[in-house]
Amino acid sequence: MAEPKKKLRTIEEPFVALGPSGLATRDRLKRLTTEDDKVMRLVGEHLGHLASLDLKARCTDGLDHNSDAWAARKQGLTAASSSRWAGAITKANHDQWALSRRCQLAHIQSLEAGVRMLMHRLAQPIGEKGTKRAPGGYRSKGEWFHKSRRLATLEHRLDVARVEREAGVVHVVHVVRGGRRLLGNRNDLQDAQLSAVEWRRRWEAERWFLAADGESGKRYGNETIRVTPDGEVSIKLPAPLAHLANGTFGRYVLSSKVQFQHRGAEWRSRVEAGRAVAYRIHLDVERGRWYITASWTKPVVKTIPLETARAQGMVGVDTNADHFAAYRLDRNGNPVGDPKRFLYDLSGTADHRDAQIRHAISQLLHWANRCGVKAIGIENLDFTAEKTREKHGQKKRFRQLISGIPTGKLKARLVSMATEHGLSIVAVDPAYTSMWGDQHWRKPLAGKTRKMSRHDAASVAIGRRVLGHPIRRRTAPPHDDQSDRRGHRTAQAGPGARGREGTRPPITERAHDARRRTGEQRTWEPSASNTVRDARSSGSRHQMSLLDTV
């Protein structure tokens, strides 16, 4: 009895991703004096202390927070700073608390997925093999026992998280000013390669507060941290530090000037028009440098229709743990040229990883512009706990591979940078792209001078899915003859393409077609042999035929 065919999961339709809603640029504050450094440290420490107190009050309010409580918090901070500083602090803490609540919900969902997967695998017989759609049982009784212990641990964590989610009071919403990772490094300074003094400097610098929201209609777009079109930076000092001012109206003017080389023209036009620009000043303790970051919002770029994005072909991109595999396809889904790879190294610090991603994306976008396409197709990757640890517990290298793919940061970087290059990003469902690409495109595109990997073939599959074509390549002709009675053999040709129903053009490299092309009459004649014996015999036969004619 034949086995029933496995049902494939539903494949979502591709869509054009929305453009960025904000921009940011950063510059270094150079040639600062000792007094400049001292004032910024004092201001950051004072406002950071106020921000910590306000965050505690916000967490205490929990779900009972309302506009009246917000106004009371702001009023209490105004006397120790200013109304604008108080507004910036309360808004930042409110956003931080809301982010922590969203992270709490994501943590609960990941725990629920892990519990479901563990319960499924524990219910299977020991040694039961799994399928591509569902994992099987555990390999031994020892592994089953340890996983049952882990199930009890995750269930306890899930119960605690659910109670905390429903309560929503101070001790259950975990918010750490300065970063939870840096706080954890304090317990193991040796692994973090930090001394106690170095850790303390980083911890204090991360907890400082030197950020101001922009205000439309105000001079240069910000009254608290003001940057003129010429690059002069001035800070409105809090009330307790007003005696340190060296400018008018309680302001301190830094000796350094900024230029904002990246997006400088756009920033300058906003500042001159008095449109809102937010600023943040922070200290890089490891380098001992001060930086200022300018950011502003922009209207979301309207996405172009999907058909417009497909008009000039597509570049399909397969995302991997250490490189982008890209292939250019024309509008009919045919691969053009050779595959491209853009490498990046995600080991090291967060800044190094971010720089590697930006460099690889820049190379990809420049190559796409040279190809003449208007859109890039990429997988809409979204890895969850259900697909990683609990499902592939023994496959450590595979779990490391999945966790190494920069999905979250890649989305934000790619969409933002592609918009600057005039390119659109089309997201597709990643289902079966690697498997079907390897099945239908890896071997046909490989040759003596071209090497095709599984990732290169997957990029072709992604591009074809974006263009609306099936991943399967050109179908083979019928087995009995060369007619098209079973349907046209070409899967790439569109419905309106001329000649799509015509016969196959002649293959000019065939030996029996050569005489027809030259106009000679075709006669049967054996080909000349390469051996000496056959050459002599053929020559003697030719002489005998001449004698017969005589």
- What residues form DSSP beta bridges with 282? 291
Residue 527 has a pLDDT of 44
Other Cβ atoms less than 10 A from the Cβ of 370: the count is 9
Provide the token pair at 209.
């507060």
CA distances from 514 to 462, 505, 511 (A): 41, 15, 6
Residue 380 has a pLDDT of 82
Provide the token pair at 112.
């629920």
Other Cβ atoms less than 10 A from the Cβ of 304: the count is 14
CATH number of 306-466: 3.30.420.10
Residue 52 has a pLDDT of 94
Residue 399 has a pLDDT of 56
CA distances from 226 to 262, 282, 283 (A): 19, 15, 18
Residue 164 has a pLDDT of 82
Mean per-residue pLDDT pooled into runs of 10, the chain (550 residues): 60 83 90 93 95 91 86 92 93 91 88 90 87 80 91 93 72 79 89 90 93 90 93 93 90 93 90 93 92 88 82 90 90 90 82 84 93 90 54 58 61 82 88 89 87 91 91 62 54 52 49 47 44 46 43
Residue 450 has a pLDDT of 85
Residue 95 has a pLDDT of 92
- Side-chain-facing half-sphere of 148: CA atoms under 13 Å: 12
What distance in Å separates the CA atoms of residue 77 and residue 72, rounded to the nearest whole number? 9
Sequence spans of domains, the chain: 16-297, 306-466
Q: Are strands 424-428 and 289-297 parallel, antiparallel or unpaired?
A: unpaired
pTM above 0.85, yes or no: no
Provide the token pair at 24.
């940011």
Residue 153 has a pLDDT of 94
Residue 192 has a pLDDT of 84
Sign of CA dihedral 290, 207, 96, 58: negative
Match 């009254």 to its residue by tokens: 223
Residue 510 has a pLDDT of 46
Q: Which amino acid is at 128?
A: E
